[in-house]
Structure formats: structure tokens, C-alpha cells
Amino acid sequence: WDFHVAEVFKTTLKENLLMIYETVAYLKDRKLEVIYDAEHFFDGFKANPEYAFKTLQQAAKAGADNLTLCDTNGGSLPHEIRHAILKVKERVKTPLGIHCHNDSELAVANSIQAVGEGCVLVQGTINGYGERCGNANLVSIIPNVMLKMGLDCIPRDGLRALRDVSRFVA
């Protein structure tokens, strides 16, 4: 989000793009898997879509293995998630991921929407526990993705264990 580049990082948009590229390239040169978490992506996309795309393109150009789009403020609606992902897929070919916060009680819905649009990595937490209002609840997402969308994301016997894992963490 260009706002954070200027106000939090206290740098220029150009310098931020260079930092993204250099950081990802450094890690890839060391043969590491790199998941680029595009913090505040959806807010950035709403405010300045061209710059938001440029950040992803820099990470992809440097060799990132996955570009994870973050709804860091948890304020996006499912149709906004869909729209942004479709636009991103027009510009980058790197596999996408999703990271949603639950400030608007939509982290699960937004994550499932993102999977439907082709995101192959879902970040979340058990029971949705996390900062502020929480994160996407994997205990809800996993069964929906597996049973309703027909996508295997964990071993089948792991699905049966989700209830016990949820209770243990709670």
C-alpha cells in the first residue's frame, strides 16, 4: 500500500520496489522458497492499483514462489477479493495465496472466494485466533474447501481430527 511506504517505511515508491526485488532475489539466490506476503494488498489495490501491481511484479520478477495477497485490515468483501484476484492474474503468472483478517467477519468467506479464484495457498490460524479481530479460521476453511469444493488440501484422516485440534487449541 503506497500509504504505508510513505508513512511507515518513510521511503519512496521506487525505493520500495527495489527493496522488494532485492530481498526476494537475495533469498532465491540462497535456494530458499519465498512466499511474498503483500501486506495491505487489498487496501493498496483500492487506493493505487498500478502501484500494487508493480509490487507483485517485482517479487515475481525476482523469483518469488508464491504471491500472497493480504487483506490486512480485514475490510474487503468477497466480490472485491474476486475482482482484485482476477486483475492480478492478468498481470502475473506466479501462483497466488490469500491471507485474510477477520475485522469484518469475512475472513473465511474471503479465503474461500480466493480459493475459488485459483489461490493455491491459504494462510490462517486454528479457530481464527490472531491479532485484532482474528485471522481466517482454518477449521472452517479446510472442510469447506475439501467437502464443498472437492479440493484435497490435507489428508482425509486429518479432516476428522480438526474437531479435536480445535478443542485442544481452544
Which tens digit of pLDDT belongs to each residue from 8-39?
889 999 999 999 999 999 999 999 999 999 99
% the chain with pLDDT above 90? 91
- Indicate the pTM of the whole model: 0.94
Hey, what's the cell of 144? 469447506
Helix then strand then coil, % of the chain, to nearest 5: 55, 15, 30
Residue 65: how many CB atoms within 10 A of its CB? 18
The least confident of 51-60, 135-144, 153-162 is 153-162
The pLDDT of residue 7 is above 90: no
Burial class of 74 by CB neighbour count within 10 A (0 to 12, 13 to 18, 19+): buried
Q: What are the tens digits of pLDDT across the range 35-76?
A: 999 999 999 999 999 999 999 999 999 999 999 999 999 999
